Amino acid sequence: MIPTYLERIEESGYTYASRLEELVKVSDILTLHTPLTSENYHMVNREILATAKDGVIIVSTARGELIDIEALIEYVKLGKVRAVALDVVEGEPISSEHPLLKYGNVIVTPHIAAHTEEGVRGMDEAVVEAIINFLEDKPIDGVVVSPKNPRRVRPS
């Protein structure tokens, strides 16, 4: 019999958490890597932070709107959240006077996590590949917005 993913998780010595509330109670680090949806707006909020393990570290390179910043500031101030590293913040760009920036245990970068030498090179290579595929009438990987008539060139 093929083990289910839950059995494989348990056999590996891990515990499956079906809800964020369960996960934050036992996690030393909470790191967010999810797109923003109407269901997960402010998924890290006062209720989640209140139940989080004391001294939790929060990292997000996903979307700023996943975290209720006012609640985060409150729990950083209380010491419940030990450290924060964000590449995204709701309402970015934020000013140098943003209240989150006054804490020494908070790092905020200006939404540039992908802008490493390797990341930029990868973007360049993907663009070149997309152009070649377009010219050779092949499918283009990673198209986010697909026009109705992708092969029709506008007359000049």
Q: What is the pLDDT of residue 42?
A: 97
Asked if 123 and 95 count as a contact pair (C-beta separation under 8 A), the reply is no
- Sign for the CA dihedral angle at 4, 22, 31, 125 comes to positive
Catalytic residue among 8, 92, 121, 125: 92
| Separation CA 136–CA 119 (nearest Å) | 26
Phi, psi of 56 (to 5 degrees): -60, 145
**Is 121 tagged catalytic?**
no
Q: What is the pLDDT of residue 12?
A: 87
Tokens of 40: 């997960």
Catalytic residue among 42, 82, 98, 111: 111
Letter for the amino acid at 66?
L
pLDDT tens series, the chain, 156 aa: 666 888 888 888 888 888 999 999 999 999 999 999 999 999 999 999 999 999 999 999 999 999 999 999 999 999 999 999 999 999 888 899 999 999 999 999 887 766 778 878 888 888 888 888 888 888 877 665 555 555 444 444
The residues, any chain, with a CB within 8 Å of residue 107's CB and separated by 6 or more, are: 83, 84, 85, 86
Strands 29-32 and 56-60: parallel
**Is 111 tagged catalytic?**
yes
Domains of the chain: 12-111 (3.40.50.720), 113-142 (no CATH)
For residue 89, give the nearest of 71, 105, 65, 106 by alpha carbon: 65
